[in-house]
Structure 1
């Protein structure tokens, strides 16, 4: 029997294991509370107003931002994740503001050109402390955003920071990596319990990310002509929804059928998460937010059957989309551009914009490389293309 979703959020009582904003562990730098917002809602608003959030509008998800107006970007992806996270959290009786906040923040550290950009920065930073987009997200919200007179970063609550850095689970096994040194240093001063699980709200954000990107990659892949609906019929997770959409609406335009199939797949994945999470909460007798952190495994999860079907879909997308020759060409171009700019900036930091050049002064090689990395990671696709043109194409100087 298919899992059902409560018909209205007002019918859902607050879960015993939900985070309570009135009991937040607070901020690293104490501030007066907002008169109109909970601490988690205030965090959400700070993220939305952040410069790094606005830049997501022209950062690659799969397709470079200028390749088409209808393909997802990091910004539209983040908004879709936030919508799904808020819906899941509301249905489970969790704090929807906290789940939404973590969802909106989860991709702030991604460099331009998606995973190609991350791969290249990992290569360039291999001898200078490494690069990890999750760590970069954390650095954005704790250091790189400069909007307030009393502190660096956004001074987010403990619960939001915890969720940002460990929404996928405990991270103590990563702390020995050079790229995670910033997390180890921050944790030493402001412990985030990195050996435990994050809140149920953070786990909801992580699952919402999985739901959003797998569905919109199917949508974008069909729209880009990399595969068609008929080819999806054999894929376990999406196939049944393609078939049912065609059966229900045999005369509807193929574009509408694509959207209908994706809509149904989202619904099925959401229902599965709700059913599995409720089953685990009951089986493990989860009665508090602390119980979630010490449970020893994820509370919010897909069922085994859904996880297996999702793995098949991911394999299909990897073969037919992420490794498609057209996507590979873009990845190759992107990596060359970022690599060439990185090496030039490191060798000649005085060609950086004045503010960034100033940050390199008095630093050793690793420190300069980190500044260069921060500058490049913050670029949009469009800005990176133009900056590369300015640096390497003499015609751009006229």
Structure 2
């Protein structure tokens, strides 16, 4: 059991996922003589075309607004760093946590959450859209690089963690949970479930939980950073949030008169550090209480073993509320969101009626296809677009593409 916060590599804990006991891949492959299954998964993700496209996909600010704001790629790298830090302190398998962090946004549409919302609305008659489910679809089907299979043929543990990003998706008897309660699971998850059981009723591994909370920490801190640098709010506005006010007081007390750029960085780095250290301390407490003897015990614990303390969880909710009010709902952001929503919606409607206008590899085989099949193909095509490509495609077919400037 973990007792201290170590900085160097330590032996994996008994509750960590053991790469030597991986449940394997959907398609059998010879094991690598030099890499564990999760190191191999990580490498496949990094070398995928979907991963490369993240560099031109919106996090909050669309590409034309400046080169210094986060993109999906830089966000993903930051999540990966935090996930590894948490995993090292908790003696988990760092490679699996890194894998899940690197893959978690592969299914995101262009233009961030606005693109996702519009795509879900467009696909409502055809099973909807969910970016976590689309990430699964990317790695099991849409990446077409290998001679013997579609997708990346990742390990069971990587797929499990990717799908159960925020916990179980169904009850033990198959009823959807969380945001899917009262409806059905996303198309991609249901379809893949016909091939391999990812045990959607159980909690994911501790490594997957570390990657999920690393995502929260990264976008909380870095959306504060980007929002400040974009001038959407002032540093002093953060004093309305007690957690941020205490950090601001600490920075200003230690470095009075600090120039703005350094002041922002000192605030953001302390935000990350406090959250990371809280997660480590709280997770150590939960693990000691549960005393799991295997990764299976973590999956069957009935609750998360990696997470914020109650006090930090409340503070983090306040940070999110602040960001919602001052960044995500800021008129400058909303103005661009309305424009990109139109781009995505009009592209979808156009390709749905004219699928032959898509590139040959996407239009192939749709001549006599049902509308649901065409819609899913159009969805896959648009979801894989970068912001720039989506704008260029809209200009190609329409005369009145919105100016995002």
Q: Normalising TM by the smaller chain, what interval?
A: over 0.9
Paired residue for 2:212?
206
Deviations 1:169-227 (A, max 9, x none): 00111487456133123223211110000000000000000000000000000000011
Are the equivalent residues in 2 in contact too, given 1:236–1:313 (CA < 8 A)? no
Which of 336, 355, 372 is equivalent to 1:366? 372
Determine if contact 1:359/1:371 at 8 Å carries over to the other structure: no
The change in CA–CA distance for 1:224 and 1:77 in structure 2 (over 3 A counts) is same
Native 8 Å contact 1:321 1:327 kept in 2? yes
In the alignment, which residue of structure 1 is the partner of 2:195?
189
Q: 1:240 to 1:392 in 2, by over 3 A?
A: same
Q: Which residue of 2 aligns with 1:76?
A: 74
Does residue 1:103 correspond to 2:101, yes or no?
yes
Higher mean displacement: 166-175 or 254-263: 166-175
Paired position in structure 1 for 2:36:
38
Change (3 A) 1:179 1:120: farther
Asked if structure 2 preserves the Cα contact closer than 8 Å seen for 1:19 and 1:201, the reply is yes
Q: Are 1:130 and 1:179, in contact at CA under 8 Å, matched by a contact in 2?
A: no
Correspondence list, 1:164-179, <5 A: 164-172=162-170, 173=176, 174=180, 177=183
Alpha-carbon shift at residue 385 of structure 1 (Å) = 0.7
The structural deviation recorded for 1:360 is: 2.5
Q: 8 Å contact 1:28–1:155 — kept in the other structure? A: yes
Q: Secondary structure at the match of 1:363?
A: coil
Matches within 5 A, 1:284-323: 284-323=290-329
Mapped to 2, the partners of 1:342 and 1:49 lie a distance apart of 28
Choose which of 387, 393, 398 in structure 2 pairs with 1:387.
393
CA distance in 2, matches of 1:351, 1:188: 32
Normalised by the length of structure 2, the TM-score is 0.94
Alignment partners' CA distance in 2, 1:286 and 1:5: 17
Given that 2:76 and 2:105 are in contact with CA atoms closer than 8 Å, whether structure 1 keeps it comes out as: yes
Aligned length: 391
Query: Which whole-Å CA distance do the structure 2 matches of 1:5 and 1:262 have between them?
Result: 25
Instruction: Show the 5 A alignment for 1:20-169.
Output: 20-169=18-167
Query: Structure 1-normalised TM-score?
Result: 0.95
CA distance in 2, matches of 1:380, 1:226: 25
SS in 1 for 2:147: coil
Q: Does 1:281 align with 2:287?
A: yes
Per-residue deviation at 1:7? 5.0
Aligned to 2:265: 259
Q: Secondary structure at the match of 2:29?
A: coil
SS of 1:9's equivalent in the other structure is: coil
**Which range moves more in the overlay, 156-165 or 359-368?**
359-368
Alignment partners' CA distance in 2, 1:182 and 1:75: 23
**Retained in 2: the 8 A contact 1:147–1:153?**
yes
Instruction: State whether residues 40 and 101 of structure 1, in contact with CA within 8 Å, keep that contact through their aligned partners in structure 2.
Output: yes
Question: Does the Cα contact within 8 Å between 1:66 and 1:382 map onto a contact in 2?
Answer: no
Single out whichever of 35-44 and 359-368 deviates more from structure 2: 359-368
2:352 maps to: 346
Q: Aligned with 1:189: secondary structure?
A: coil
Shift of 1:123: 1.1
In structure 2, how many angstroms separate the alpha carbons of the residues matched to 1:61 and 1:345? 25
Moved more, 120-129 or 217-226: 120-129
CA contact (8 A) 1:131 1:179 kept: no
Q: Deviation per CA, 1:268-292, whole angstroms, max 9, x where unpaired?
A: 1000000111101111222210110
Partner Cα distance (2:400, 2:245) in 1: 51
Distance 1:235 1:224 in 2: 20
Q: Does 1:222 align with 2:222?
A: no
| Distance change in 2, residues 1:41/1:176 (3 Å) | farther
Distance change >3 Å, CA 181–CA 386, structure 1 → 2: closer
* Cα deviation, residue 252, structure 1: 2.0
Q: 1:311 to 1:176 in 2, by over 3 A?
A: closer
Work out the CA distance in 2 between the residues paired with 1:343 and 1:231: 42
For 1:239 and 1:103, how far apart are their aligned partners in 2? Answer: 30
Question: Gaps spanning 5+ residues in structure 1: where?
Answer: none
Contact kept? 2:6, 2:89, Cα under 8 Å: no
2:123–2:129 CA contact under 8 A, matched in 1: yes
RMSD between aligned alpha carbons?
A: 1.6
Q: 1:377 — aligned with what?
A: 383
The change in CA–CA distance for 1:359 and 1:335 in structure 2 (over 3 A counts) is farther
